[in-house]
Structure formats: C-alpha cells, structure tokens
Amino acid sequence: MRETPRPQGTAGDHGAEPPQPRTGSAQAHTAGASRSGSPLRSDGRPPHTPRGARHTDEAGPPGTTPPVPGRPALLVLLLPLLAVLLFGAATWQVLARGPVVRLDERISGGLVGAVPAPLAEAGADLGNMPVAVPVLLVAVVWALRRGARAAAGWAAGAMLLVPALVVPLKLLVDRVGPMTEASGYYPSGHTATAMVAYGGAALLARERWRWAVPAAVVLTAATGTGLMLRGYHWPLDVFGSLCLGVLLLAPLWWVSSSGRRRSSGRTPRRRTGPS
C-alpha cells in the first residue's frame, strides 16, 4: 500500500510552525493599509498629491471655499461719508470761488475742443433722460420679475431723487457755465442722471451679468468726459454729481448685496460622490 502523506501541523508534528504572512499584495491591503502610500488608507493622513492634500470645507466638496460674504457694512458706510465730505468741500469752493475753482476753470480751458465735437457730443448725450432712464426702467422691471422688489424700489427711488436734489442745488449755487453767461450749472444733472441710471441698472443686474458694473462705469465716465470736452460743464460740476451719485446708490448697493447673500444662503449644497 502507498502511504498517504500526513497533513502538516498535526499533533504529532513537532516541527510545524504557524503560517507566516506573505509579503505580497494581500499584506498591502491588510496590515499595510495604514501606510501613507497604500490605496486604502485608514489613518487619515493625506497622500503626497495636491488633490488629496486639500481639506473639505463645510460649504462644499474637497478644496472648495465657503461662499464669499457680501461687502462689509463698514465700507458701505464709509463711501457715502466720504462722498458727503467731498461734495461739501466742492460746493464750498464753488460758493466761495476758492483756489480749487480757479484751478477748475484753467483745466476746463484746456479740455474744451480737445477731441472732435461729434465724439464729445455723443458722450454727453448718454446723460440725457430719454437715453439713460429707459435702461434703468428695463432693469427695474427685470428685477421685479425676479422677485427683487426692495432693490427695484430703491433703484426707482434713487432716480426720482436726482431732479429733487439737483434742481434746488443748481438754484442755490447759481454757477455760470463755461461757455455761456447763463447760470445753474453746478452740479451736473446729466452726470447724476447717467450715474444713477446706469449704476442702478448695473447693481440690479450684476448677479446675472458680471460685466454690468464695468459697463456702467464706462458709460458714466463717457458722459462726464463728453460734457467737459464739449464745454457744457466745468470739471467740478461733474465731480459734484459723482459724489451725489454715490450717495444715491449706496442704499441700493446695500440692499442688492443683502439680497445676494440671502440667495447664496438658500442655494442647496452640491453633493459629490466618493472620489
């Protein structure tokens, strides 16, 4: 008879040893799983790759940042305060015919006629009410349809305040124009109209179109520059209206920023699958 081989590790085999773990792929998934270079990692240490080194924020997937908060309230308060101080200083200089006014008149003399008249006229016409106000009305209607009633109301109210403030100031200061003996040129009504109309529309639409604010800055700057180059207003007239525009747009800026923060807070967080 052939002898059947006896299995290893029986009671009579004194040389048997317990099985030893092999240093192969099985060990990499068990005992070596806590090593930093293994694919299955349980010690929480990041791997040596840029993607794995990112930390997960509370507001989103790995590597994201929390929603950017709105502009600080301090900035919203400081800008109108600065505008009030600058407008008061400019108005005082005009009323007292101080050194700033004399410098203003010399600068205006070098600006008038510096560019072709049709080009300067085109810029000045951007501040006409039939041109600027319809832009704001379209933005107000669009904001109302989106449910931004508070911001739309502030924008419309700011536009109504332009003649309510500019007309009495013109009568009070009674400044003579650059190329005429007529008075009532400070501050510039066209500049204030352009800034509030284009700026208000941009603040209403900036959540949808990021280029709205830069476009409003360009249109307002083109209006003021055209008025100075054409000789319709002194530079100080334009500057005073820009300060007024900041005052009128500051509440709308705050309201629209608050609405954006609330909208961001209601946005559902995107869930990501396992990487």
Domain locations in the chain as residue ranges? 74-263
Three-state DSSP at 192 gives helix
Residue 38 predicted with pLDDT over 50: no
Residue 44 predicted with pLDDT over 70: no
Hey, what long-range contacts does 7-15 have (CB within 8 A, 24 or more apart)?
none
Decide: 204 and 144 in contact? Cβ < 8 Å. Answer: no
Mean pLDDT of 137-155: 93
Q: How many CB atoms lie within 10 A of CB 196?
A: 27
What pLDDT shows up at residue 267? 44
Residue 245 predicted with pLDDT over 80: yes
Residue 67 predicted with pLDDT over 50: no
What pLDDT shows up at residue 18? 53
Q: How many CB atoms lie within 10 A of CB 55?
A: 8
Give me the residue label for tokens 């360009």. 218
The rounded mean pLDDT for the chain is 78
Mean pLDDT of 248-268: 68
Residue 174 predicted with pLDDT over 80: yes
Mean pLDDT of 77-83: 89
What pLDDT shows up at residue 19? 54
What pLDDT shows up at residue 208? 85
Residue 219 predicted with pLDDT over 80: yes
What pLDDT shows up at residue 53? 45
Torsion over CA of 8, 11, 17 and 18, rounded to 10 degrees? 90
Decide: 161 and 257 in contact? Cβ < 8 Å. Answer: no
Residue 57 predicted with pLDDT over 50: no
Residue 89 predicted with pLDDT over 60: yes
Counting residues of the chain whose pLDDT is more than 90, the rounded percentage is 56
Decide: 249 and 241 in contact? Cβ < 8 Å. Answer: no
Three-state DSSP at 5 gives coil
Counting residues of the chain whose pLDDT is more than 70, the rounded percentage is 66
Mean pLDDT of 28-38: 45
What is the chain's Cα-based Rg?
35
Euclidean distance between CA atoms 116 and 202, whole angstroms: 29
Which of the four pLDDT bands, split at 50, 70 and 90, describes residue 171?
Answer: very high
Euclidean distance between CA atoms 48 and 41, whole angstroms: 13
Residue 206 predicted with pLDDT over 50: yes
Give me the residue label for tokens 């909208």. 263
Q: Which architecture does CATH list for 74-263?
A: Up-down Bundle (1.20)
